[in-house]
Amino acid sequence: MKTQRHVHAMRNLALAGGIALALAAATLASCAGGSKPQAAVQPQPQPPAQPPAAVAQPAQTPEQARLAAIEKASDLLAAGKADDAAASLGTVAASQPADSELKLLQVAALAQAGRLDEARAQTDAVLQLEPTNSKALVMAANLARFDGDEKARKAYLDRGMAAAPQDAEVLAAWGQFLLDNDNPKAAEDAFRRSLAADGTNPDAALGLGEALYAQKRYADAEAALDTAVSLDPRSPFPYSARGKVRYQRAEYKEALADMGEAIALDPESPWLYLDRGRMLMNFGRKEEAVADFSKAIEYEPGYFLPYVFRAGLYEELGRDAEAYDDYQAVLKVQPDYWYAYESLGAVTFKLGRWAEAATDFSKAFAYNGSCYEYAILAGLSYLRAGNAAEARNWAGKVAPTIDREKNGLYWLMLRLIQDQNDMSAELEAKLQAEKSLDTKAGMLFYLGEYWIGRGKTELGTRYLTMSQEMKRVECLEYRLLVPELRRLGIKTE
């Protein structure tokens, strides 16, 4: 459903949102128990010669101090000052050491401030005194999840299930663990049990919808997520999850509306822009998708996938120079994403930057030595760059590694690049018998490029035209063919 990086980042965001909600809920709960405002009393006139005496303010009670600290922390969090919120809660928590709820609220603020080690240490301190505190166990499990410590996460949840097997929050956290570990059916059961224990638990309703989505039970998932939205209408996550479900149900207008609502609620979430961008891309709304991927990059420049999608769209829109920059960015943030070398090679080839194309295709071949198309394109790029000697050396190095019986066409093409003569008869005879239309169209493209590289542009153009007529539009070679024909002044469809 998401990449691992995406899942991790969504976890971060979900935890931060949960912290703010926890503090807000605590504030409201405390306010509900406070004194009611009194009706205004009209002041009695006083003799001018006797000014009113100063009225001493009573000292705050512990509960009033607690309420003030929570309200202050809530305001600080809303202002993005998580460190200050943690400090405010820490002060009052120190004065009321028996109040574990205050300590857990401080833990939440610490986590939102990115002080994860402190948050985990303080949660463990609470559990030292209250080993069966279900809220602390769920908090500890969530912090471990946030920290990527799955072993500790499961240990906390095992303790929670043993201590409070019917607790709604414990069951919801257990369901999320099962869902994260690819067991959606068991997760569904846990979320249903959580909702049975507390029908107002939005995490359980959201988790149930996602568990049903994972099982491709889209109608049931949508119903569960309708409930999640109604229980937590100010959270972006139920809308985002429901948008994905509605997309699968071909409810495209509604899917985009949900994604728009999610973004409105959390306008700085890169993952929401990424998800909506993918929808828009699939709808063919390319410019809008580019805008969403650009937003995703703005808010999370260290994640590679938005660059990949945006680069592909730039290519489709004919903006190859911008695509080149994005593929370079992909390799900067995700060096092991070697597919970017293929795309870089394609873009530099289309731009006529032949030496770069040769380097890119040779790097792609180094990662995937069974894809002889990369080796051939590297050799042809050297030839187009005017570096006949490098083309010869490259082809001479690769050709001997190919099984001629299994991959004869590729071997013959590389030998032609190596020998750089006009003896293509054997290759063309074998090409006539080739049954794979993709392979045949690719070889016609290679022959066209070979002859152009040898200075026989008219002959090369004929081969390129034959390749185009086969309309193998999904092939890498077709991706290169159309701009090449345009460069030669030949009309393309």
* pLDDT at residue 46 greater than cutoff 60: no
d(CA 327, CA 331): 7
* pLDDT at residue 30 greater than cutoff 50: no
Share of the chain above pLDDT 90, in %: 76
pTM: 0.84
Contacts of 197 (CB under 8 A, 6+ apart): 166, 167, 168, 171
Asked if 282 contacts 26 with a C-beta cutoff of 8 angstroms, the reply is no
* Topology adopted by domain 268-336: 1.25.40
What DSSP character marks residue 88?
A: H
Among 68-82, 161-175, 432-446, the minimum mean pLDDT is found in 68-82
At 89, is the secondary structure helix, strand, or coil?
Answer: helix
Question: What local confidence, expressed as pLDDT, does residue 71 receive?
Answer: 85
pLDDT digits (tens, 9 = 90+) for 83-104: 988 888 888 788 888 889 989 9
- CATH topology match: 268-336 vs 339-487: yes
pLDDT digits (tens, 9 = 90+) for 340-386: 999 999 999 999 999 999 999 999 999 999 999 999 999 999 999 99
Question: What local confidence, expressed as pLDDT, does residue 91 receive?
Answer: 84
The architecture CATH gives domain 339-487: Alpha Horseshoe (1.25)
* pLDDT at residue 241 greater than cutoff 90: yes
Question: What local confidence, expressed as pLDDT, does residue 6 receive?
Answer: 37
- 328-341 mean pLDDT: 96
Question: What local confidence, expressed as pLDDT, does residue 485 receive?
Answer: 94
d(CA 88, CA 23): 13
Q: Which of 408, 407, 385, 383 is nearest to 395 (CA)?
A: 383
Question: What local confidence, expressed as pLDDT, does residue 99 receive?
Answer: 86
Q: Which of 462, 451, 453, 455 is nearest to 485 (CA)?
A: 462
* pLDDT at residue 121 greater than cutoff 60: yes
- pLDDT level of residue 51 (50, 70, 90 thresholds): low
Asked if 380 contacts 391 with a C-beta cutoff of 8 angstroms, the reply is yes
* pLDDT at residue 466 greater than cutoff 70: yes
* pLDDT at residue 7 greater than cutoff 50: no
What DSSP character marks residue 399?
A: G
Question: What local confidence, expressed as pLDDT, does residue 69 receive?
Answer: 75
Question: What local confidence, expressed as pLDDT, does residue 55 receive?
Answer: 56
10 burial type by CB count under 10 A (0-12 exposed, 13-18 middle, 19+ buried): middle
* pLDDT at residue 14 greater than cutoff 50: no
d(CA 144, CA 151): 8
Mean pLDDT (the chain, rounded): 89
Report domain extents, the chain: 268-336, 339-487
